[in-house]
Structure 1
Amino acid sequence: MIYSLLTTSVVHTIQSHPNPHKQITPAKRPHEAASITFDDSNLASVTLPHIDPLVIELRVNRFTVERVLIDQGSTSEVMYYKTFIKLGFTELDLSPAHYPLFGFNANLEYPLGKITLPVRAGSRSVDVKFLVVKLPSSYIPIMGRTWLHTLQVVPSTYHQLLRFPTERGIEQIRGSQKSAQACYLLAAKTKKELEESSIEVLDRESLDDDGRLTINRQQLISFLLGNLDVFAWSLYEMPGVDPSVSQHRLNVDPKCKPIIQKSRRSAAEHTTAVVEELDQLLDAGVIREVTYPT
């Protein structure tokens, strides 16, 4: 396998080549693999800049499974116990797994067992051995290098895309940035934080005189957790908003000569708050730093 970076444009290519020093007869000539490339045209539906992982959707044992993390750092495919139960299995369906997993909470984790299930990606389906662990996670399964190499998958987190060869040609699966961000929020927001920031509602179900339905706190929290991808939690998640909605302009007469004002000092806590807010806006790409000569 050869990885090459073309100089004319940003293109990542992986292609199989026969050994040039080995003579190949027509009867033994291998099937030439098609090139798998990524370029800027694949960024049309990607929100930039981003540092999102590649989270996709796959078909696992007759079920469509969302929030599938593509993890090139994992040698094994991992399924969480909650997902395992939702797929209709019990611990009686597990085979023994005699080796531990590394990397979870910086400790060894011994799986409950392993199970082999069919996984379909596009037109290709392969049997995948999942290690089942009883740990909390915002992701449903994790697909590691074993599955990636079996299908000869070439992923690109930057392009939010993975591609793989099939008999019909190169097929692809697009990643979901909304799902990736929702998983991050699920992992970052604890139950305590949600309760502290939740809206006060009546602890009963009833119809008020004005016809509005009231729900208890736990129902509201469950509803918000189940629809995290619907809400915009930061400016980063609202691309395409017209600048006139949020753009700020100084009401300055262009005919006037600019004058440098004296430096004004603010309280330390105010300065810290301003710096944090500016860093968030810069990271989100909403503003950019410019330098004017004086």
Structure 2
Amino acid sequence: MIMGAIEVCSYSVRAIKEYSRQATNAPKVPHDPPNRTPLVFTEADTIGLHKPHNDALVVELLLDDVEVSHILVDTGSSVNIIFKEELDQLDLSSDRIEPFIEPLTGFDGEHCMTVCMVNIPIYLDGVAKIIQLLILDKPAIYNSILGTTWLHAMKAVASTYHQCLKFPTPDCVYTLRGNQTIARLCYINECKLHSANQACVISLLGPTNELVVQQTKPKQESIVQVCIDELRSERQVGISAELDQSIREPLIHFLKQHSSTFAWWVEDMPEIDPQIACHELNIDPTYKPIK
């Protein structure tokens, strides 16, 4: 789930409140349904799928005359995303890309900033919709994420269980099927991305001296606190608990000799040159101030 500014109200508090009231005041009695074939999902749509499954809906679409795979259809996202690495593959002219910095929020409240935006036509069964895609410059397992703005523009309904989405055309209902194999490959890549902070051990193994990369978790080092000022027991520093005695004792002796060089309180650092150290608030300057 990715949340960003809604086009009709942006970040205006007044516009957001009005947008909320419009939903509350909308008529609850449905109008007469149009004379069209209804969008219906049945068990027949699951033929050929491995079940049971918990796969995301990952599709392939034509973006600006280029076939792009690994596109996640996310019904919980209010924005459409394309990642910079994939955008570079589309080889678009630079004048089509506009600077656009906007905070995006995930379900856990974590923020990330967009860098640019681009309008790209997305083609599907002869229907073309020019969609605004926000550009993120960060590693990702998908090439693009399409949210509710694209789904609503297509009047499409997505079903992850049936691994497809459907939308009406003048003649019939078109079904775009997801790729369950790619969805599971994306899941595997997501697991690898989460374990990217693991250490890599590269060794030469086998008769061909083939390079083998082994993923191992970094060793968790134990830390012990050591007092380096006999007159002030609260003045302690942390050192490795696994240090050899031949290193541990000289290190502690050295730290005790130079304990006066440590700054224990703010008062110990009067008139520090800002070029050496300074304090600043962790506030993104691109955020709009709100009263």
TM-score for the superposition, normalised by structure 1: 0.56
Question: 2:155 pairs with 135, 152, 155, which one?
Answer: 152
Question: 2:112 pairs with 101, 109, 113, which one?
Answer: 109
How many angstroms does 1:107 deviate by?
2.2
How many angstroms does 1:32 deviate by?
2.1
Letter in 1 for 2:176: I
Question: Which blocks of at least 5 consecutive residues in structure 2 are unaligned?
Answer: 1-28, 216-291
How many angstroms does 1:41 deviate by?
1.3
State the match for 2:99 in structure 1.
Answer: 96
Distance 1:51 1:60, change over 3 A: same
Distance 1:93 1:34, change over 3 A: same
State the match for 1:66 in structure 2.
Answer: 69
Q: Name whichever structure is richer in strand by fraction.
A: 2
Corresponding residue SS for 1:37: coil
State the match for 1:169 in structure 2.
Answer: 172
1:134 aligns with 2:137: yes
Query: Percent identity over the alignment?
Result: 26
Deviations 1:111-131 (A, max 9, x none): 111000110122211101100
1:119 aligns with 2:131: no
Letter in 2 for 1:118: P
* 2:204–2:210 CA contact under 8 A, matched in 1: no
Question: 1:19 pairs with 20, 31, 34, which one?
Answer: 31
- Pairs aligned (count): 185
State the match for 1:76 in structure 2.
Answer: 79
* 1:122–1:173 CA contact under 8 A, matched in 2: no
Letter in 2 for 1:19: H
Distance, in Å, in 2 between the alignment partners of 1:105 and 1:86 is 31
Letter in 1 for 2:163: Q
1:48 aligns with 2:51: yes
Deviations 1:118-150 (A, max 9, x none): 101222111011000111110110000000001
Letter in 1 for 2:166: R
How many angstroms does 1:109 deviate by?
1.7
State the match for 1:187 in structure 2.
Answer: 190
Give the 5 Å matches for 1:169-248.
169-189=172-192, 190-191=195-196, 201=205, 216-217=211-212
Deviations 1:37-78 (A, max 9, x none): 011111111111111010011000111111110001101100
Distance, in Å, in 1 between the alignment partners of 2:67 and 2:200 is 32
Corresponding residue SS for 1:114: strand
Distance, in Å, in 1 between the alignment partners of 2:203 and 2:47 is 37
RMSD of aligned alpha carbons: 3.0
Distance, in Å, in 2 between the alignment partners of 1:199 and 1:129 is 46
Distance 1:159 1:194, change over 3 A: farther
* 1:123–1:166 CA contact under 8 A, matched in 2: no
Pick the structure with greater CA Rg: 2
Question: Which blocks of at least 5 consecutive residues in structure 1 are unaligned?
Answer: 1-16, 21-29, 203-207, 222-294
Distance, in Å, in 2 between the alignment partners of 1:124 and 1:37 is 20
Distance, in Å, in 1 between the alignment partners of 2:62 and 2:186 is 19
Letter in 1 for 2:59: I
